[in-house]
Amino acid sequence: MANTPKLSRRSALMGAAALPLAAATATATRAAAPMLGVTQSNFRRVKVGSFEVTTLLAGTRPVENPHKIFGLNVDEETFNSVSADAGLSTAAAQFFFTPTLVNNGSELVLFDTGLSGAATVQAIEAAGYTADQVDKVVITHMHGDHIGGISTDGTPTFANAAYITGATEFDGWSGSGNENFDGKIVPLADQFTMLDDGGSPASGITAMAAFGHTPGHMAYMVEDGGTQLVIGADFANHYVWSLAHPDWEVRFDMDKAAAAATRKTMLDMMATDRTAFIGYHMPWPGIGYVERNGEGGYRYAAHSYQLML
Ligand SMILES: [Zn+2]
């Protein structure tokens, strides 16, 4: 076997020498196909029991100098070495923005709305739905990349939807003078229903307090037929820098100690129960599992086919 490649290569070289013109022409023709750039789909649908759960890619972009965002409490050398071990660039990180649709058989529920209505609706339509079919919009927290798509030019993007969010989250932003909250949420405030830890926005879905990233940040447990999936929103925002090192501070976590404590509690639960989760900023399509890495942290295991069966 060891000799085979060598022999093939020699005969290939001899063949090429014997047919110089034809070979050169053929190669040149093949090289003319244009470079098309990297690409990806903008929706992914899986099953949780009888429920259908669809992640929607509402946006993605590179962000420079990720150490300015992740690992604020560790030095450059530590950040660089953890990143190198994981094969990650320290010059830029690719960000993803991933709302989720859950169809529980009686209602179509959208979790978060992306940066803008247009991109989110485009992904919803690619996935086979229309914006008008959305029965409920659940907002996990009030950051602009989660509420931006709730209205488009001042008009509600999801014309038939009821709105639901955490009471603590809503109260935490009310009267704070935040431009995004005042522009996107306040005009719809009368139509919002508030819930607390353990509340249910729809059948088979339960709110889980996951405070820290924002004052009342909520995750949601989706459960049917003995299968569980956590819509984790922003409890952890990078698959290495937040999972391997839940203590690493993140610029966007408003209460850094509470956010780290929430990360550890949720990661421990999901690793123990082998619960699937969707992370709003995990690598597209945003669905994965949590494993212990043996060093006190966790490892992200991207979903393969578990939720297709
Ligand atoms: Zn976010």
pLDDT along the chain (309 residues), means of 10: 44 49 54 90 98 98 98 98 98 98 98 98 98 98 98 97 98 96 97 98 98 98 98 98 98 98 98 98 98 96 97
* Token code pair at residue 223: 């459960």
Ligand 1 centre distance from Cα of residue 116 (Å): 13
Residue 5 is predicted with a pLDDT of 44
Supply the pLDDT for residue 4.
43
Per-residue confidence (pLDDT) for residue 31, from 0 to 100: 77
Whole-model pTM: value is 0.89
**Closest by Cα among 203, 200, 204, 194 to 172:** 194
- Give, to the nearest 10 degrees, the angle between helix 4-18 and helix 20-30: 100
Ligand 1 midpoint to CA 25 (Å):
51
User: Separation of 237 CA from ligand 1 center, angstroms?
Assistant: 8
Give the distance (Å) from ligand 1 centre to CA of residue 96.
9
Burial class (CB in 10 A: 0-12, 13-18, 19+), 198: exposed
Distance between Cα 40 and ligand 1 center (Å): 20
